[in-house]
Amino acid sequence: MGKFIGKSIKRREDARFLTGKGKYTDDIKLPNMAHAAFVRSPYAHARILNVDTTAAKIAEGVVAVYTAADGPGDYGVPCGWQVNFKNGDTMREPQHPLLAKGKVRHVGEPVAIVIAESLALARDAAELVDVEYEELPAVTNPKAAMQAGAPLVHDDFPDNAAFDWCIGNDRAEVEAALDNAYHVTELEFINQRLAPNAIEPRSYIADYDVNGDKWTLYTSTQNPHLIRLLLCAFVLGIPEHKVRVVSYDVGGGFGSKIYHYIEEALLTWVSKQIARPVKWTADRSEAFLMDAHGRDHVVKSKMGFDKEGNIVAHLTDEYCSMGAYLSTFAPAVPTYLHGTLFQGLYKTPLIHVNVTAPFTHTCSVDAYRGAGRPEATYLIERLVSKGAKEMGMDPAEIRYKNFIPPFDGVNQPGYQTQVALQYDSGNYAPVLEKALEAIGYEDFRKEQEAARKEGKLLGLGISTWIEGCGIAPSAVVGALGARAGLYEVGHVRVQPTGKVSVYTGAHSHGQGHETVFAQFVADKLGIPMDDVEIVHGDTEQVAFGMGTYGSRSLAVGGSAIIKSIDKVLEKGAKIAAHKLEAAVEDLEYAEGKWTVKGTDKSIAFGDVSLTAYVPHDYPEGLEPGLDFSSFYDPSNFTFPFGAHLAIVEVCAETGKVTIKRFVTCDDVGNIMNPMIVDGQIHGGVVQGIGQALLEEVVYDESGQMITGSYMDYAMPRADNVPMIETHNTVTPCPHNPLGAKGAGEAGTIGSTPAVVNAVIDALWHLGVKDIQMPLTPQRVWKAMNQN
C-alpha cells in the first residue's frame, strides 16, 4: 500500500458536477448548429407503403428531411460478435439500416429524420411527415418467435433464429445424471426484459468541417474509439483519421452506451449533407424504445442433487431474444457472457446449457449491467435455494457443501470449469461466512420464527455469485466470435517538469477514473496526486482504446497504464544512473527519486524528466523524452465473487415486499479506493433490486411497448430501498499487475436472486415455491393466496 492506493480519496471530478459545470453532450452548443427529430414507427411490424415528406420539407425552419431513399449509410450498423449455429451454419445477420427500408420491425424504428433550425421546429415538422403503413402481425416473446407459424422478423430467416448454441458437457450425459439424481429441482420462468435507463439520455452532435473534409462527433458513449472504428470502417466508409470522436462527461451507461446506434451514424452522415453541425438528444420515450434492453430470457432449468445435497448435474434450455436487429455485442450476451458462468461457485460436475436466440419485433437486446451473468446467477442461485428448501436443507449449508475449494492461481492452478472458463483465483466460503455473521443469521432464524407466530412474514435470501469480467484476452474472445480485440491502451506522458498526463482508452461515466487512476499512478511514481492528470474520451488525445464495460477499466485499462509506468521507470533509471554516475542495478526507486543503494546520493523524478527533455548531459544512444504508450492484453478474464443477503418483510394483506436489510460481502480483488468500490456495489445492488421487485419492459401482443415512460416503468426510488451494508474480502487477481478484478457489475449480479430467495423464504410455508419477477404486490399476493 502506498500513500493513495487503498484510500478513500474524494473524487476530483465532483467539483464540476456539483456546480453544474459538467460537460455532457447535450450541454454543448456549436455555432450554426441545426437540430434533428426522428419520425419513428408506431408499429412493431409493418410494410412501409409510402413516405411523404412534402409538407415537412417546406415547414418553417426546416433544413432537410431524409428517408432511406436518400441512401444514408448503405451498409447499416454492424454487429460486433459472431456466434454461429451449433451445426456450423453462419449466424444470421440482418442488415440494420440507418432509416427503415421497406419494413419496420419494432416500435420506434426511425423512418425519417427531420433537420431544422431548432428542436421545436424539427419536432413540429416531423409531425408533418406522412407515412403510410400496412400493419403486420408481430411476435415479441422469444419462445413464441420459434414456434411454427410465428410472424417472421426478417423474411429471409425462415424460423426467426439468429443462432443456437450450447456449452458444457454432453447433453445425454447430463440428462442421465439428472435421471439418476436423488432429487431434481426445476424452475421455469422469464428473466424479464429491462430498460437500462441511464439518467442522461443518449445525445450526439456531428460537426462536419468542409476544411479538411473532417468530422467531430460528440457522443455520449462508453467507448469512443470503438464507435469511430465502427462508424468509419463499417457504416459510412469514411477514413478513420478524418473523424474525431469526443465523449466528455457521460451521465451513466450501464451497457446501453457501449453500442454504435443508428442515430449517431445518421447524424454524422447528415452533417456532411447540410455542411453544418447537427444535434440530437433522445427524449425518455425514445430511450425506452431504442436504447438496447437487457435480459429477456425464457428459461427452463433442472438441477440434480445427491442425498447429501451435492449438486450432480445442471441442465438449462433458454430462448434469449436478440430483438429485431443484432446490436453490437448482442450475440455474446446469452452465450459467452452467460453460459460460461453456469459453474457458479460450485463443483457441479455436469453442466449443459442450450440457448436459442431468435429475433423478435422488439428493441435490440444487448449487454445491460452484468450482461448474461446476472441471468446465470439468478437461475443458479434460485435453483440452489429451491433445492435446499425441497430437501429440507439450510440454504447456507448447501452452498458450503458445494463450494469449489480455495485456490489462489499462483500456488494452486486456476479452477477449470465445465463451461470453458478457467477461474483465476477464489476463496468462496469466507464471503458467505462474513455476510452471514454480519446479518446475524442464527438470530434471524429465531426472529423469523417468532414473527411468523404473530402473522408477520419475514424471509432471508442468500445469493453467492461469481462473474467473468475484466474482458478480456483478445485471442480468446476472437476464437469465441468477437470481431474486436479487447485489450486496453495506457499512455503515460511525463512532461519536462515531472508532471504526468495519462491518456487512457477506458472511459469514465461515473466510475471516477480521474481520481482512482491518479491514485495508483501517483503511488507508483511516488509523486503527488495533483501532479497527475487523467485524460479520456477523445480519440484525438488518446491513441486508441476499447472503452469501459464488463468491469474492465481498472483490471485492463489500469494494467495498460502500469505497463507504461514500468517503461517510464526503466528509462528514467538509465537517465538517473547516468546523472548519478552509478550502475542501473545499484539504484532503487522510492518516493519519487532514484537513490544509489546504501548512499544518500539521489536524483528526483522531476530532475530526470527535465533531463530527458533537455538531454545535454545524457546517456549515449538513449532517445530523449519520457513518454510511453502500452497495449495491455490480459491473459485471462478476472473472476470476482461474493455473497449477498437480503432480509425482507412481505405484507400479509397486500403482498408488498419491503427490504429490511441488505448485506454484501464481495471480493473484487485488490481495491484502489474503497469509497468508490462501495459506491459501485450500492448502485449495482439497487439496480438488481429493481429487477427483483419493480422493473419490466412490457410489450403487448401487437408489439406496442406499454412501459415506455417513467410513469409506466418502475425503477427503484430512494424510499424503495434500504441502506446497503457492504463488507469485503480480498483475493487478488493473480494475472494482472494491480491484482484487481473489477467491481462495476458485482452488485447487480448478486442482488436479484438474494431478494427473490428472501421473498420465497418468507412464503415457502404458504406453499409458494416461485414467483415471476418483478415481484409486484399483485404477483406476490396472488402467489400467497393461490392455495
Residues that bind another protein (CB under 8 A): 8, 10-11, 13-22, 24, 26-27, 29, 120, 197-201, 249-252, 254, 281, 283-285, 509-512, 675-676, 678-679, 682-687, 709-711, 715-719, 721, 723-724, 747
- To another protein, the closest distance from the beta carbon of 513 in angstroms equals 11
- To another protein, the closest distance from the beta carbon of 15 in angstroms equals 8
Please, which residue, 287 or 580, has the CB nearer to another protein?
287
Please, which residue, 205 or 784, has the CB nearer to another protein?
205
Please, which residue, 142 or 684, has the CB nearer to another protein?
684
- To another protein, the closest distance from the beta carbon of 512 in angstroms equals 7
DSSP letters, 394-448, are -HHHHHHHHBPPPB-SSSSPPEEPTTS-EE--B--HHHHHHHHHHHTHHHHHHHH
Beta bridge partners of 594: 589, 603
Please, which residue, 248 or 613, has the CB nearer to another protein?
248
Using a 10 angstrom Cβ sphere, with 0-12 exposed, 13-18 middle and 19 or more buried, the burial of residue 777 is middle
Say if residues 45 and 703 touch (Cβ distance below 8 Å).
yes
C-alpha cell at position 351: 453442466
Beta bridge partners of 297: 191, 320
- To another protein, the closest distance from the beta carbon of 403 in angstroms equals 28
Please, which residue, 91 or 686, has the CB nearer to another protein?
686
Residue with cell string 440530437: 280
Rounded to whole angstroms, the Cα distance separating 735 from 564 reads 17
Query: Cis omega before residue 97 (within 30°)?
Result: no
Q: Hey, what amino acid is at 741?
A: K
DSSP letters, 146-203, are TSTTPPPSSTTSTT-EEEEEEEES-HHHHHHHHHT-SEEEEEEEEE--B----SSPPE
Rounded to whole angstroms, the Cα distance separating 628 from 581 reads 25
Helix (H, G, I), strand (E, B) or coil at 129: coil
- To another protein, the closest distance from the beta carbon of 440 in angstroms equals 20
Residue 655: CB atoms within 10 A of its CB come to 22
Please, which residue, 37 or 419, has the CB nearer to another protein?
37
Rounded to whole angstroms, the Cα distance separating 770 from 787 reads 14
Please, which residue, 325 or 517, has the CB nearer to another protein?
517
Please, which residue, 197 or 609, has the CB nearer to another protein?
197
- To another protein, the closest distance from the beta carbon of 675 in angstroms equals 5
Please, which residue, 20 or 88, has the CB nearer to another protein?
20
- To another protein, the closest distance from the beta carbon of 25 in angstroms equals 11
Please, which residue, 27 or 306, has the CB nearer to another protein?
27
In whole angstroms, how far apart are CA 615 and each of 384, 575, 624? 66, 9, 6
Using a 10 angstrom Cβ sphere, with 0-12 exposed, 13-18 middle and 19 or more buried, the burial of residue 121 is buried
- To another protein, the closest distance from the beta carbon of 31 in angstroms equals 14
Please, which residue, 590 or 718, has the CB nearer to another protein?
718
The alpha carbon dihedral of 681, 683, 685, 687 has a sign of negative
Q: How far is CA 735 from the centre of its chain?
A: 22
- To another protein, the closest distance from the beta carbon of 573 in angstroms equals 37
Residue with cell string 432480509: 647
- To another protein, the closest distance from the beta carbon of 444 in angstroms equals 21
- To another protein, the closest distance from the beta carbon of 710 in angstroms equals 3
Say if residues 96 and 74 touch (Cβ distance below 8 Å).
no
